[in-house]
């Protein structure tokens, strides 16, 4: 194996790839070759660094220089300046938006400052397509430790002691789940990895699978050993082609190394893993619907109990854990449960990966210790609200989560606090909204998603959520009544109480939480027939302010339905009857004479 | 045993009981809709999809469905809290908000589970109005009509068709509010592997699945000058028709039925039971022939058209083992349009045969091309028991007080062996009574073969005839039939004769019978009535039916002979699985 003096780590996650990081790798390699340094400097395609806002990312080791927004054309300069002459390319270094100071080391950036990376420990550090790199960072040591020094019960006890809870949303203690499966007597047991990440805006599971697939594979094998299962299935959505590809490579390499297959590491334990591709139904992220889907049936939830640990895939005891949960397992075994339990709060241990998006400066993935406040995530890690606008709400927990207002920004991030506030941990999507977002419209948007993704099995979810959506539609159309607000609450309450699965039970959350925290916006739509954020099409009008209009005719010439009239150099008028509220005139007017009201 | 409390009263119930079952023991009725428990037929619909039976359980976050939640030790259940009542009501309102409110002209008017539930809960308005599902009605088949607009997605049809009958025509398709029950590739019913057994109709709680209504056509032909219209009634009708008029299940109304049919305007009222005796002569002859000439065994009964279509789709390699006998009502039609037409001096073209059947598949069967001689169908129209009930009600008769009348001759007399055709095991028992006496030359002391009776899905029996142990198997329900046939295919079992009926319980549980609303006791009472009909007959062996024997003497010649083959036997067609 070659020894290199320097490594150029280029992000190979889906986000950076879409910004040509593959080309960057190619160009860097060419430039290195030209400079005759390809034997002493290695370019590594890694997993996601998390700071997607500033991608593509190129990190230089051992210099610890973090280049952001790198273009393929920058490759020549990086090689010529940094690699050859040892001079940092200043223009590619991250600049702190507050103060504009250059911060060359990622560890000094506010985005990374408060993060503790356990699940994402290897993302951005190793080449996910090379098992040797995983092994070089203690990979498969946890499996070896479990197989050679621990009993099944000891592994389960370690998990229990660590306090690890399911990262897929519900937060069920992982150790208890494993214990339940271990207890079952059965000729066959399964380990299933739920990689059907479906929340809009959430991409932590994808990043783990793309950046560190072996961490999941190793953990599944440990789960197999701990519970007596010999078969693992990763249920991954087909829309994650890169994750699928890297999983396949990782499984093949692990098999080749004897880390999967028969009698692993000379023990009596055998374990195989296969992939099952999901076709994109959101509900298949619900564990029992997922099992149906793997079995080849319609993806619909089953009644619980019996829980999968008792009667799961093909009726056999089955552990289903989410990707991020598995990604936490190996460090717990290696560093001890006490170490893990020392991070976080009393009931929520360890870290959680959040996918920051929306109107926030630093879009990306951040892994933070439990107990950190929402404010710290939004303001420090996220860098605050984009474009200097005002923070309005943060939506947490995916489409079934809730919208929390400014007044709740200081609650700590843990399962219980978020639920109490009307949101939920969910898979960790976090979408920031500012004053230009209409909360009624936001609630409608999320409900539209769940209405569309409902499996249609039970009445409250199938019909109830549709009716909720229709009420919201009426309100945003300006046809709502105050009675609608009562109906939303009553109907939402019943849907939560009576639906069959979590999808239905949590679907009214966006409505109920916005109704609770942003009721005035609903009332404005209903009573004043006004959308305070100027979002709801049917409640806004574009009007020409006659005093300001200079009669340049730009608006009239650009109007796609020709509904603006007026002589040159005289004030123009918009025919409200024909106006489609497309907003073209508003954005084209050179003197801001057109206003939204 | 498990201890629990329901609405404050403590009780002890067996392990594995559901809250619904436990509540029933203490007289608490929890309303249900999608739930259907016919476990003796292996039909348990426990999908918990409607969410009507929601109850409160202490320390559980949400409400739980009583129909499918198993009781646990120390469970505290409350079925009547305001929270549960409210949820139940909203759920029913939601269902109604996506259901046409045309109850007045719906076939299930006064016989609909959703309607009854709304009435019981006293629903007076539907608060949440909005978009309604609209789908295409499928009336492509001769037997049943699908109107998905009225479907409440209880999934009973899917469970019945998929799990009990193993036909699997139905499946939920699409998602969310667009979810509907559909066929593979959205094929019209006529192009699917549907056997038209009608069990989906039997369990449908609303008007989403109904029979093809032939009452208008029959009324029309009854009033057409020059037509001679003959009614024939299947064995299972007379033990179920009374239910349509509020009579106790299992009441035998044979005489009143004949009387009602005459009053509706049928020129002659004859009996499919007569043809059942004829079927036995043919089938027993075929069986004896196969036994004595090394023919293919086992012989399978072929009276049930749903079963026939089932094996055509699913066991096309076994087409040579079913008996070639037509079903009794088709034999009746074939004989009526030849022998009887001559006797009555009526041009066969003017003779109209209307079968009253417990079955929806008979509607399809009547239209099978091989069962129509010279462009004329053996049977012209088929009415279900329910349709006859409607015609009687429409004509304003006081059914319970009608006089008892006799069938018309010469195709009205029948034996007790024919009567038991209506229940599972009956056909094979009837055939045995004849085959035994023919083969041994001895008269049976006791014509009742107890070992062939019962409600077990698959039954086996051995009957000693001369030197031979005749091995017999009986299956009812197509899923059971499949199991039996697969056993034979695998070579795991050998039989001499097998009776198969598509519907659980046999024809008494047919898809055209009065709705049982999930009460299995009704089917048992009908079966008991069938056996008492048998015992009440003076003749109990088909070969002692003098009118049948006269038919051979005057017209057909020898049983299983050339003329009999031409008129009374049929052929089968290989069909695709979908």
CATH of the domain at B143: 3.30.70.20
**Structural contact between residues A336 and A159, judged by C-beta atoms closer than 8 angstroms:** no
Q: What pLDDT band is residue B374 in, cutting at 50, 70 and 90? A: low
User: Are B434 and B542 found together in one domain?
Assistant: yes
Which chain A residue has the Cα nearest residue B128?
A: A467
Report the percent of chain B where pLDDT is more than 70.
Answer: 99
Q: DSSP state, A170?
A: S
DSSP B453-486: -SS-SEEEEEEEETTEEEEEEEEESHHHHHHHHH
Chain B CB within 8 Å of residue A490 CB: yes
> For chain A, what's the residue count?
597
pLDDT of residue A304: 87
Q: What pLDDT band is residue B76 in, cutting at 50, 70 and 90? A: very high
Q: Where in chain A is the domain with CATH 3.40.30.10?
A: 6-113
Closest residue to A498, CB basis, from B46, B54, B98 = B54
CATH architecture of A6-113: 3-Layer(aba) Sandwich (3.40)
Render pLDDT for B302-335 as a digit per residue (tens, 0 to 9).
999 999 999 999 999 989 999 999 999 999 999 9
**Closest CA of chain B from A75, distance in Å:** 48
Which chain A residue has the Cα nearest residue B53?
A: A498
User: Are B22 and B142 found together in one domain?
Assistant: no
**What is the mean pLDDT, run by run of 10 residues, along chain A of 597 residues?**
86 92 95 91 92 92 92 94 92 85 88 92 93 96 97 97 92 96 97 93 92 97 97 96 96 97 95 94 93 94 92 96 97 97 95 94 93 93 92 90 92 91 86 95 95 95 97 96 96 96 93 95 95 90 91 93 92 92 91 89
Q: Where among B211, B236, B254 does a domain terminate?
A: B211
Chain B CB within 8 Å of residue A463 CB: yes
Residues of A in contact with B63 (CB under 8 A): 497-498
**Closest CA of chain A from B169, distance in Å:** 15
CB contact under 8 A, A451 and B98: no
Render pLDDT for B270-281 as a digit per residue (tens, 0 to 9).
999 999 999 999
Chain A CB within 8 Å of residue B123 CB: no
| CATH assignment at residue B72 | 3.10.20.740
pLDDT of residue B128: 93
| Interatomic CA distance for residues B128 and A488, integer angstroms | 10
Residues of A in contact with B90 (CB under 8 A): 460, 464, 490-491, 494, 498
Chain B CB within 8 Å of residue A304 CB: no
**Structural contact between residues A506 and A496, judged by C-beta atoms closer than 8 angstroms:** yes
Of B519, B439, B47, the residue nearest A300 (C-alpha): B47
Residues of A in contact with B177 (CB under 8 A): 451, 454, 456, 462-463, 466
Q: Is residue B373 pLDDT above 70, yes or no? A: no
Look at residue A110 and give its three-state secondary structure: helix
Closest residue to A463, CB basis, from B65, B68, B97 = B97
Q: What are phi and psi of A261, to 5 degrees?
A: 115, -150
**Closest CA of chain B from A143, distance in Å:** 38
Closest residue to A498, CB basis, from B87, B98, B131 = B87
Q: Which residues of B does the annotation mark as catalytic? A: 283, 286, 303, 323, 362, 365, 370, 507
Residues of A in contact with B47 (CB under 8 A): 457
Which strand (E) or helix (H) includes residue B100? none
Task: Enter the tokens of residue A265.
Answer: 């590491």
Q: Is residue B424 pLDDT above 90, yes or no? A: yes
B216 within some domain: no
Range of the domain at B188: 133-211
User: Are B146 and B236 found together in one domain?
Assistant: no
**Closest CA of chain B from A467, distance in Å:** 6
| Interatomic CA distance for residues A548 and A110, integer angstroms | 44
CB contact under 8 A, A462 and B176: yes
The stretch B431-450 carries a mean pLDDT of 92
Residues of B in contact with A490 (CB under 8 A): 86, 90
> For chain B, what's the residue count?
578
Lowest mean pLDDT among A36-50, B132-146, B393-407: A36-50
Which strand (E) or helix (H) includes residue B231? strand B228-233
CB contact under 8 A, B94 and A467: yes
Residues of A in contact with B53 (CB under 8 A): none
Q: Where among B70, B97, B124 does a domain terminate?
A: B97
B109 within some domain: no
Classify domain A541-596 at the CATH topology level.
Answer: Alpha-Beta Plaits (3.30.70)
User: Are B335 and B301 found together in one domain?
Assistant: yes
Q: What's the alpha-carbon Rg for chain B, to the nearest Å?
A: 25
pTM: 0.91
3-state secondary structure A397-430: CHHHCEEEEHHHCCCECCHHHHHHCCCCCCCCEE
CB contact under 8 A, B177 and A460: no
**Structural contact between residues A253 and A275, judged by C-beta atoms closer than 8 angstroms:** no
pLDDT of residue A491: 97
User: Are B171 and B244 found together in one domain?
Assistant: no
pLDDT of residue A280: 84
B281 within some domain: yes
Q: Is residue B539 pLDDT above 90, yes or no? A: yes
Q: What's the alpha-carbon Rg for chain A, to the nearest Å?
A: 27
B318 by Cβ neighbours in 10 Å (0-12 / 13-18 / 19+) ranks as middle
B103 within some domain: no
**C-alpha separations of B26 from B51, B468, B540 in Å:** 22, 54, 46
Task: Enter the tokens of residue B458.
Answer: 């698959």
Q: Specify the CATH number of the domain A439-526.
A: 1.20.1440.230
| Interatomic CA distance for residues A478 and A536, integer angstroms | 9
**Closest CA of chain B from A458, distance in Å:** 4
Chain A CB within 8 Å of residue B90 CB: yes
B260 within some domain: yes
Of B265, B516, B268, the residue nearest B394 (C-alpha): B265
CB contact under 8 A, A459 and B63: no
Q: DSSP state, A152?
A: H
What is the bridge-based pairing of β-strands B209-211 and B144-146? antiparallel
Which chain A residue has the Cα nearest residue B180?
A: A456
Which chain B residue has the Cα nearest residue A496?
A: B62
Chain A CB within 8 Å of residue B174 CB: yes
| CATH assignment at residue B362 | 3.40.50.1780
Q: DSSP state, A79?
A: I
B422 within some domain: yes
Chain B interface disruption, residue of A455, A456, A470, most B CBs within 10 A? A456
Chain A CB within 8 Å of residue B86 CB: yes
What is the total count of domains within chain B? 3
User: Are B173 and B279 found together in one domain?
Assistant: no
A491 by Cβ neighbours in 10 Å (0-12 / 13-18 / 19+) ranks as buried
Chain B CB within 8 Å of residue A284 CB: no
What is the bridge-based pairing of β-strands B372-373 and B376-377? antiparallel
Query: What's the maximum distance between 2 C-alpha atoms anywhere in chain B?
Result: 79
Q: Specify the CATH number of the domain A131-340.
A: 3.40.50.11540
Q: Where among B71, B97, B123 does a domain terminate?
A: B97
Q: What pLDDT band is residue B386 in, cutting at 50, 70 and 90? A: very high
CB contact under 8 A, A456 and B94: no
CATH architecture of A351-434: Roll (3.10)
Q: How many CB atoms lie within 10 A of CB B441?
A: 8
The whole-chain average pLDDT of chain B stands at 94
Closest residue to A498, CB basis, from B47, B63, B152 = B63
User: Are B492 and B350 found together in one domain?
Assistant: yes
Check: complex ipTM more than 0.90? yes
User: Are B391 and B461 found together in one domain?
Assistant: yes
| Interatomic CA distance for residues B404 and B391, integer angstroms | 18
Q: What angle do CA B562, B568, B573 make, to 5 degrees?
A: 105
Of B366, B354, B364, the residue nearest B261 (C-alpha): B354
B278 within some domain: yes
Chain B CB within 8 Å of residue A467 CB: yes
Q: DSSP state, A68?
A: -
| Interatomic CA distance for residues B234 and B304, integer angstroms | 12
User: Are B256 and B194 found together in one domain?
Assistant: no
Task: Scan for tokens 């949303």, then name that residue.
Answer: A169
DSSP B128-180: ----------B--SSSEEE-GGG-----HHHHIIIIIS-----EEES-GGG-E
pLDDT of residue B375: 61
CB contact under 8 A, B49 and A497: no
Residues of B in contact with A459 (CB under 8 A): 49-52, 91, 94-95, 152-153
Residues of A in contact with B71 (CB under 8 A): none
Chain B CB within 8 Å of residue A474 CB: no
CB contact under 8 A, A470 and B130: yes
């Amino acid at each position: 194996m070659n020894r290199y003096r320097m490594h150029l780590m280029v992000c190979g996650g889906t986000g950076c790839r879409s910004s040509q990081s593959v080309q960057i790798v190619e160009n860097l390699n060419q430039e290195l070759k030209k400079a005759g340094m390809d034997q002493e400097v290695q370019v590594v395609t890694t997993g996601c660094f998390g700071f997607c806002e500033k991608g593509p990312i190129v990190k230089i080791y051992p210099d610890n220089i973090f280049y952001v927004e790198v273009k393929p054309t920058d490759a020549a300069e990086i090689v010529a300046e940094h690699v050859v002459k040892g001079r940092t390319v200043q223009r590619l270094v991250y600049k702190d938006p507050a103060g504009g100071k250059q911060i060359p080391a990622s560890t000094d950036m506010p985005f990374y400052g408060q993060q503790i990376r356990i699940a994402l420990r290897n993302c951005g550090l190793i080449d996910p397509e090379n098992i040797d790199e995983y092994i070089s960072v203690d990979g498969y040591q946890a499996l070896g430790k479990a197989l050679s020094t621990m009993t099944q019960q000891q592994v389960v006890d370690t998990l229990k002691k660590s306090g690890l809870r399911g990262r897929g949303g519900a937060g069920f203690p992982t150790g208890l789940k494993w214990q339940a499966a271990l207890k079952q007597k059965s000729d066959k047991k399964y380990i299933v990895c739920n990689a059907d990440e479906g929340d809009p805006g959430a991409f932590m599971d994808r990043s783990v699978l793309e950046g560190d697939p072996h961490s999941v594979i190793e953990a599944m094998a440990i789960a197999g050993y701990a519970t007596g299962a010999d078969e693992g299935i990763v249920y991954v959505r087909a829309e994650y082609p890169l994750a699928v590809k890297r999983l396949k490579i990782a499984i093949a390499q692990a098999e080749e190394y004897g880390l999967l297959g028969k009698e692993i590491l000379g023990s009596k334990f055998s374990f195989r893993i296969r992939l099952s591709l999901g076709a994109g139904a959101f509900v298949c992220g619900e564990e029992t619907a997922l099992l149906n889907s793997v079995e080849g049936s319609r993806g619909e939830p089953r009644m619980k109990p019996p829980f999968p640990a008792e009667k799961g895939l093909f009726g056999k005891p089955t552990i289903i854990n989410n990707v991020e949960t598995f990604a936490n397992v190996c460090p717990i075994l290696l560093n001890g449960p006490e170490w893990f339990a020392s991070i976080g709060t009393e009931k929520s241990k360890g870290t959680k990966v959040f996918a920051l998006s929306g109107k926030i400066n630093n879009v990306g993935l951040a892994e933070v210790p439990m107990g950190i406040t929402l404010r710290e995530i939004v303001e420090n890690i996220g860098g605050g609200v984009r474009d200097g606008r005002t923070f309005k709400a943060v939506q947490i927990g995916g489409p079934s989560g809730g919208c929390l207002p400014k007044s709740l920004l200081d609650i700590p991030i843990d399962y219980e606090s978020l639920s109490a506030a009307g949101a939920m941990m969910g898979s960790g999507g976090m979408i920031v909204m500012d004053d230009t977002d209409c909360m009624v419209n936001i609630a409608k948007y999320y409900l539209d998603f769940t209405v569309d993704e409902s499996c249609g099995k039970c009445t409250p979810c199938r019909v109830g959520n549709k009716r909720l959506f229709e009420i919201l539609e009426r309100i945003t159309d300006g046809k709502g009544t105050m009675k609608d607000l009562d109906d939303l609450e009553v109907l939402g309450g019943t849907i939560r109480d009576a639906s069959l699965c979590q999808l239905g039970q949590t679907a009214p959350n966006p409505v109920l939480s916005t109704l609770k925290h942003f009721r005035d916006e609903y009332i404005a739509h209903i009573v004043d027939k006004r959308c305070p954020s100027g979002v709801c099409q049917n409640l806004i009008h574009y009007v020409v302010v006659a005093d300001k209009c200079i009669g340049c005719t730009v608006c009239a010439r650009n109007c796609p339905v020709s509904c603006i009239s007026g002589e040159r150099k005289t004030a123009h008028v918009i025919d409200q009857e024909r106006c489609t509220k497309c907003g073209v005139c508003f954005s084209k007017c050179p003197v801001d004479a057109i206003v939204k009201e | 045993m498990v201890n629990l409390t329901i609405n404050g009263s403590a009780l002890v119930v067996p392990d594995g009981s559901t809250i619904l079952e436990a509540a029933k023991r203490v007289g608490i009725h929890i309303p249900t809709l999608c739930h259907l428990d016919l476990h003796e037929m292996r039909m348990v619909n426990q999908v918990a999809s409607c969410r009507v039976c929601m109850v409160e359980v202490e320390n559980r976050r949400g409400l739980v469905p009583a129909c499918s939640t198993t009781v646990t030790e120390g469970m505290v259940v409350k079925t009547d809290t305001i929270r549960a009542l409210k949820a139940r009501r909203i759920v029913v309102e939601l269902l109604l908000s996506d259901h046409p409110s045309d109850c007045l002209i719906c076939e299930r008017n006064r016989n609909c589970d959703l309607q009854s539930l709304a009435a019981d809960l006293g629903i007076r308005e539907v608060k949440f109005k909005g978009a309604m599902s609209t789908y295409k009605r499928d009336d492509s088949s001769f037997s049943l009509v699908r109107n998905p607009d009225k479907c409440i997605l209880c999934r009973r049809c899917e469970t019945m068709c998929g799990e009990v009958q193993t036909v699997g025509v139905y499946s939920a398709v699409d998602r969310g509010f667009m979810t509907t029950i559909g066929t593979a590739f959205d094929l019209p019913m006529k192009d699917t592997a549907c056997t038209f057994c009608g069990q989906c109709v039997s369990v449908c709680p609303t008007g989403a699945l109904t029979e093809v209504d032939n009452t208008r056509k029959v009324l029309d032909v009854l009033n057409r000058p020059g037509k001679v219209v003959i009614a024939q009634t299947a064995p299972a009708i007379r033990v179920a028709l009374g239910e349509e008029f509020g009579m106790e299940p299992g009441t035998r109304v044979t005489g009143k039925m004949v009387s009602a049919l005459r009053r509706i305007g049928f020129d002659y009222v004859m009996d499919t039971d007569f043809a059942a005796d004829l079927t036995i002569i043919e089938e027993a002859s075929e069986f004896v022939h196969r036994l004595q000439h090394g023919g293919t065994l086992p012989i399978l009964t072929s009276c049930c058209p749903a079963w026939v279509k089932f094996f055509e789709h699913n066991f096309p390699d076994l087409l040579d083992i079913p008996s070639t006998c037509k079903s009794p009502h088709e034999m009746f039609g074939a004989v009526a349009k030849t022998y009887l037409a001559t006797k009555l001096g009526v041009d066969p073209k003017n003779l109209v045969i209307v079968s009253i059947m417990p079955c929806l598949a008979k509607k399809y069967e009547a239209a099978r091309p091989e069962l129509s001689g010279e462009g004329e169908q053996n049977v012209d129209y088929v009415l279900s028991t329910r349709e006859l009930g409607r015609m009687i009600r429409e004509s304003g008769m006081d059914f319970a007080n009608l006089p008892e009348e006799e069938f018309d001759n010469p195709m009205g007399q029948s034996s007790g062996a024919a009567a038991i055709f209506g229940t599972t095991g009956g056909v094979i028992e009837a055939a045995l009574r004849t085959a035994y006496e023919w083969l041994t030359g001895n008269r049976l002391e006791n014509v009742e073969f107890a070992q062939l009776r019962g409600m077990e899905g698959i039954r086996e029996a051995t009957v000693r005839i001369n030197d031979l142990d005749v091995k017999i198997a009986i299956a009812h329900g197509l899923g059971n039939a499949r199991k039996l046939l697969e056993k034979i295919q695998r070579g795991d079992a050998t039989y001499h004769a097998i009776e198969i009926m598509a519907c659980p319980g046999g024809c008494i549980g047919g898809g055209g019978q009065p709705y049982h609303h999930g009460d299995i006791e009704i089917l048992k009472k009908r079966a008991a009535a069938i056996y008492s009909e048998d015992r009440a007959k003076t003749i109990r062996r088909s070969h002692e039916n003098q009118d049948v024997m006269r038919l051979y003497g005057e017209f057909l010649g020898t049983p299983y002979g050339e003329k009999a083959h031409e008129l009374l036997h049929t052929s089968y067609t290989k069909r695709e699985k979908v």
